[in-house]
């Protein structure tokens, strides 16, 4: 795992989301909290590993659940990160890494914007 650039580790809360062309309601965003730490993740009841490649643009992230209902799958994603925000687009079908930050109708793409939760707020 490459570690140059803003640190991906932290607690992230969703500020916007779209799944297959449908904008997620604000109430649904509460369930999309993401924890990233030392190449691991927790998202809902799924936990596992992450592999990031910062040498390509957009940066790529592979999400590999090892516990939970999606265990055994690989979810290919792209990310854009700053110190306080994260944008992620992934293909929930696991078949093809997105090449842009879009989640059009008729796809299993998930697009979300996150903000970092300050340590004192956790």
Please give the mean pLDDT across all residues of the chain: 92
Exposure b/e, 71-100, CB count within 10 A at least 16 = b: eeeebbbbbebeeeebbbbbbbeeeebbee
> In the prediction, which pLDDT does 121 show?
55
Residue 102 in this model has a pLDDT that exceeds 50: yes
Residue 38 in this model has a pLDDT that exceeds 50: yes
Q: Give the mean model confidence (pLDDT) for residues 90-105.
A: 96
Question: pTM for the full model?
Answer: 0.89
> In the prediction, which pLDDT does 7 show?
86
pLDDT tens digits, 11-20:
999 999 999 9
> In the prediction, which pLDDT does 101 show?
98
Q: Where are the domains of the chain?
A: 10-117
């Amino acid at each position: 795992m490459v570690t140059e650039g803003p640190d991906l580790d932290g607690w992230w809360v969703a500020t916007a989301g779209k799944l297959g062309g449908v904008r997620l309601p604000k109430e649904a965003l509460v369930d999309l909290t993401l924890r990233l730490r030392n190449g691991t993740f927790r998202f809902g009841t799924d936990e596992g590993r992450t592999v990031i490649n910062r040498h390509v643009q957009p940066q790529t992230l592979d999400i590999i659940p090892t516990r939970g209902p999606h265990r055994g799958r690989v979810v290919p994603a792209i990310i854009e990160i700053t110190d306080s925000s994260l944008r992620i687009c992934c293909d929930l079908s696991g078949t093809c890494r997105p090449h842009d930050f879009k989640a059009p109708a008729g796809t299993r793409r998930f697009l979300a914007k996150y903000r970092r939760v300050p340590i004192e707020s956790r």
